[in-house]
Structure formats: structure tokens, C-alpha cells
Amino acid sequence: MPTSVVIINVHGIGPHPTSRPLDPGEDQVWASIEQFERALDAAVGRDDVRITFDDGNASDVEIGLPRLLERGLKAHFFVLAGEFGQPGRLDVAGVRELLKAGMPVGSHGWAHRDWRRLSDAEAEQEIGEANRVIGEITGEPVTDVAIPFGSYDRVVLTRLRRAGMRRVYTSDGGAARPGEWLQARNSIGPDLDAAWIERVYNGKASPIVQARRIVARRVKRLRGAP
């Protein structure tokens, strides 16, 4: 197993949905089919590149899944338990299709809220209830979660530890170490081009960018009232 991996995170793919409004900032992580295919093609044959999907969009199954299968690639899908069957989103049948194709499914929470601003009751729904609903579909307890908007602090991490989560996926950018609890990811979006792939897949971020990321991660882990 490689000691360092790059995790590429996919949100919506293709034309923007007409059936629901995009969330704030979602247009920044919505990729065209060509960009998505480019990201996949660059991952073929690379055991140090992993792929995840967030948000449980209908495009996960309609566009993402067939193109993964064509290339013999696997991806981890993080779905929104409270959005199943909503316009533009996956339904339970879609989740089952992912599972049947051998794709692991984890939780992205309930309603795509910012987990830094949850009451205890909302946190129970976002983590506890979402995990129960998704676990009933997958047939096993949910152990992996992806944090909505990559927005976390000490309180969020404590809640996830208490819930027994084995892996927590962020959006911090840069490389990740396979055995670590927090897994940094890199979102693809409208800015994906050959230079983006070279920089992200081959870890060519400048030393200044790398240093900034390390500081930002430390701040996130520590901030928030105890």
C-alpha cells in the first residue's frame, strides 16, 4: 500500500440540475463530463489515487458509475440520508445499484448542513440517524463519513469520534495517509485542466501552499468551544 495517496472528490457532474437549486458554492465543485472523464483517466493504473463522491447526486449513478466501471475504477460514495429520492438526488434504488457494483457507501450526513453549526438534536440526526438509515441499506454499520463543505472544528471531530467513525474525509486538499483518521481530499470542479491534474495528482503544490495547508488543518482541529 502506498504511504501517501491523493484523494479526488467528485460532486455533481454534467449539466446543472434543473430540478433543484444548487447549494451555495456548489457551482465551484460541479464538473463537466469531460472534466470528470479526464480526472478518471488520470487515475487509471495509479494505486496512489483514490476517488470519492459527495452529495448523493443523481449524476453519481447516471454519469459517474458507468464511467468508473468502464475503466475498472472504484470509488467511495458519501450520500445524504435525508435527501434520498429528492429532485436531482439519488434514491434508495440508486444506492443499491452502487453497492451491487461493488462501490462502498458511507455517510455525508442528513440534509447537507454545516456541521459546525448544529444543535445537539441536529447533530444526532446528521450523524446518528443518517448512519442508521444508510446502514440499513448497506447492511452494515456506517464507519466512514465525509464532512459536508469540509467544515469541521474540535466539536465536530469529538462527535464523530464518539459515534465510532473509523475514517473521516475532509476537503482540506493535498495528500492523505491511508491509515490516518482524517483523510484530506481534493474537489474537482470547473477549473480542472491538465495543469490541475499535474499539480494535484503529482503533489506539485508550491511549498507555500503546502505550509498553508498544514497550518489550516491544525487550526481546524483545535478551534471551537470544548
124, exposed or middle or buried, with CB in 10 Å at 0-12, 13-18, 19+? middle
Total residues contacting Zn ion (rule CB under 5 A)?
3
Query: Nearest distance from residue 80's CB to Zn ion, in Å?
Result: 8
Could you give the angle at the alpha carbon of 126 between the alpha carbons of 4 and 169, nearest 5°? Answer: 5
**Piece of 53-61, 113-121, 173-181, 198-206 that binds Zn ion (CB under 5 A):** 53-61
Query: Nearest distance from residue 11's CB to Zn ion, in Å?
Result: 6
Question: What is the chain's alpha carbon radius of gyration, rounded to the nearest angstrom?
Answer: 17
**Site for Zn ion contains 173 (CB under 5 A):** no
What whole-number distance in Å separates Cα of residue 121 and Cα of residue 144?
21
> CB–CB of 52/76 below 8 Å?
yes
DSSP state of 14: S
For 13, residues 6+ apart whose C-beta sits below 8 A from its C-beta are: 30, 31, 32, 33, 36, 57, 59, 63, 64
What whole-number distance in Å separates Cα of residue 122 and Cα of residue 128?
10
Choice between 54 and 126, CB closer to Zn ion = 54
Among 6, 53, 54, 56, binds Zn ion (CB under 5 A): 54
Per-residue binder mask for Zn ion (CB under 5 A), 146-165, x = binder: --x-----------------
Choice between 24 and 139, CB closer to Zn ion = 24
**Site for Zn ion contains 55 (CB under 5 A):** yes
What whole-number distance in Å separates Cα of residue 159 and Cα of residue 37?
36
Choice between 94 and 148, CB closer to Zn ion = 148
**Piece of 51-59, 63-71, 87-95, 133-141 that binds Zn ion (CB under 5 A):** 51-59
**Piece of 61-69, 125-133, 134-142, 143-151 that binds Zn ion (CB under 5 A):** 143-151
**Block residue for cell numbers 495543469:** 195
**Piece of 50-58, 67-75, 96-104, 215-223 that binds Zn ion (CB under 5 A):** 50-58
Choice between 88 and 225, CB closer to Zn ion = 88
Residues found near Zn ion in the complex (CB under 5 A): 54-55, 148
